[in-house]
Structure 1
Amino acid sequence: MEKTTTFFDGFDGARLALHEMGAGRPVILLHGLFSSAEINWIKFGTAAQLAAAGFRCLMPDLRAHGQSAAPHAAEAYPSDVLARDAQALVTHLGLVDFDLVGFSLGARTAARSVIAAPPLQRLTPRRLVLAGMGLEGLAGWNQRLAFFRDVIDRFGTIRHGDPAYLSQQFLKSSGIDRAAVRQLLGAMEDTDPQALAAITMPTLVLCGDQDNDNGSADHLAAALPNARRATIPGTHMGCVTRPELGAELVSFLTASA
């Protein structure tokens, strides 16, 4: 299925890439850290599954990722910068009724977008999917921050067997601007579990059966007012390559209730 790519202005005018596939109900798909829309949603067929089910897949490359701008200046990375960019995308497209899906960093961004406090404007998707995410990944970001900063700072020296090795190799294959993404890491905030009460729309918490990278998906589902839990095969990085990911998204987003 054909993909188109355009560009839009982020919250501060940064040039951000938007990839689209399909026609129908809009669904925004936010990819993970060190990744891109191409790797997370397009390469392994997830977007094609959604498009075939009648969705217009809207897949931005997050700031400092993919074909989007990767500024180095600190002022380009204020608190909740990715939630600000997500709001800019919704405004740019004039979306009112849409669904929102995030994987890992994208899930963190999606959650922060829905519970955003002024001056940010909250996003109000009809349905929300938080994939590759657990409660501790939202509430304990500072621990994950230290891990990913270490991956960047030791890039090229991390050897097989080190817990950071796979993240280094993924970062190497994606060609991400390491200085830019290091700035981005510092723009994320811990999420108070009590704030999750604002996520009232139907929510799917979706994780691989070998994925505990961001803590407990069960704990996250239990903390949300209107959530259900689903499990697919795979590790944190491996589950995005599986057709079960797209199948679960289609099932949840097309459910009648």
Structure 2
Amino acid sequence: MELVMPHFSTSGLSLAYDVHGDGAPVLCIHGFASSGKVNWLDTGWIETLTGAGYQAITIDNRGHGLSDKPHDPEFYHPGLMADDAVALLDHLNIGTAAVMGYSMGARISAFMAYAYPERVACAIFGGMGLNLINGLTDGNDIIAGLQAPDLSDLTHPTARQFRIFADHTGSDRKALAACMETSRQPMARADVRRINVPVLVAVGGTDDMAGRPAPLADLLPHGEAVIIPKRDHMRATGDKVFKSAALEFLGRTFRADPVS
């Protein structure tokens, strides 16, 4: 049965989203080649957040899931996708939310926290450490892998990994290739220093794509870091250590039951 999700319109695009539970809102922004369902529902995050008394909101980023999928790279700068996230909060009449992103979603969350600090109570950057600043070195290999005629043509391990993931999620590979061109835009170090909300930086202990979490947390005015033991970039997403650290952080910075 085909998944049906509500949509909203922004910047001429129709984007899919979903809302689960009640309570203080947590906007969940998925990673590259993923979707709200794959990144947050299938990994148990929605159950974890709603079980702790939060409202979990997912968005299918442009180019992903059930959202529109333009093939022009100029549609995928992280600042534009941060604008999408704010437009969703506007659509839902939500003033301020906690924001949790993974990988590309963490980069989007960082641009959102920088540009719209009044809308972000706190942020969680999963699968994104110092490479928020340094950029992604494997990006061109991933693009080549997405554009290759067949998986058997690929030898680069990261390119193979993302090609397999893209095929598994039934993604539009032309849209993903366009997205990879511009969504990996690094954030300026000076801008990172201006993200003036509490931020948890969580990265897998064997993640060689994200960059280390502690140096990024040290740059953030209110940053803290956690390492997810024995997890690489793909396997850290739904890890119980990540979930436990996130809930503890949210409990300190954005209570599910705020005192009136």
Deviations 1:69-113 (A, max 9, x none): 112345644673211211211221222121011100000001011
- Percent identity of the aligned residues? 28
The structural deviation recorded for 1:144 is: 4.1
Deviations 1:169-217 (A, max 9, x none): 1111111101112222233322111111111111100111111212121
Aligned residues between the structures: 249
Alignment counterpart, residue 148 of structure 1, candidates 139, 142, 149: 142
Alpha carbons of structure 1 residues 31 and 74: separation in structure 2 relative to 1, 3 Å: closer
2:104 counterpart of 1:105: yes
**Residue matched to 1:72:** 71
Contact 1:83 1:109 in 2 (8 A): yes
Give the Cα–Cα distance (whole angstroms) in 2 for the partners of residues 77 and 159 of structure 1.
25
Give the Cα–Cα distance (whole angstroms) in 2 for the partners of residues 232 and 78 of structure 1.
28
**Residue matched to 1:231:** 227
Give the Cα–Cα distance (whole angstroms) in 2 for the partners of residues 161 and 79 of structure 1.
26
**Residue matched to 2:5:** 5
Q: TM-score, normalised by structure 1?
A: 0.88
Please tell me the root mean square deviation across aligned C-alpha atoms, in Å. 2.3
Give the Cα–Cα distance (whole angstroms) in 1 for the partners of residues 41 and 102 of structure 2.
13
User: Which 5+ residue runs of structure 2 have no aligned equivalent?
Assistant: 255-260
Q: TM-score, normalised by structure 2?
A: 0.87
SS of 1:143 mapped into structure 2: coil
User: Which 5+ residue runs of structure 1 have no aligned equivalent?
Assistant: none
The structural deviation recorded for 1:19 is: 1.6
- The within-5 A match list for 1:46-65 is 46-65=45-64
Alignment counterpart, residue 247 of structure 2, candidates 241, 246, 250: 250
Give the Cα–Cα distance (whole angstroms) in 1 for the partners of residues 136 and 233 of structure 2.
19
Alpha carbons of structure 1 residues 170 and 123: separation in structure 2 relative to 1, 3 Å: farther
**Residue matched to 1:172:** 167
Give the Cα–Cα distance (whole angstroms) in 2 for the partners of residues 85 and 224 of structure 1.
24
SS of 2:137 mapped into structure 1: helix
- The within-5 A match list for 1:177-192 is 177-188=172-183, 189-192=185-188
SS of 2:43 mapped into structure 1: coil
Give the Cα–Cα distance (whole angstroms) in 2 for the partners of residues 248 and 64 of structure 1.
30
Contact 1:132 1:236 in 2 (8 A): yes
Opposite residue 226 of structure 2, the aligned amino acid is A
The structural deviation recorded for 1:151 is: 2.2
- After TM superposition, the structure 1 stretch with the greater mean CA deviation from structure 2, 230-239 or 47-56, is 230-239
Contact 1:130 1:206 in 2 (8 A): yes
Give the Cα–Cα distance (whole angstroms) in 1 for the partners of residues 243 and 192 of structure 2.
25
Opposite residue 20 of structure 1, the aligned amino acid is V
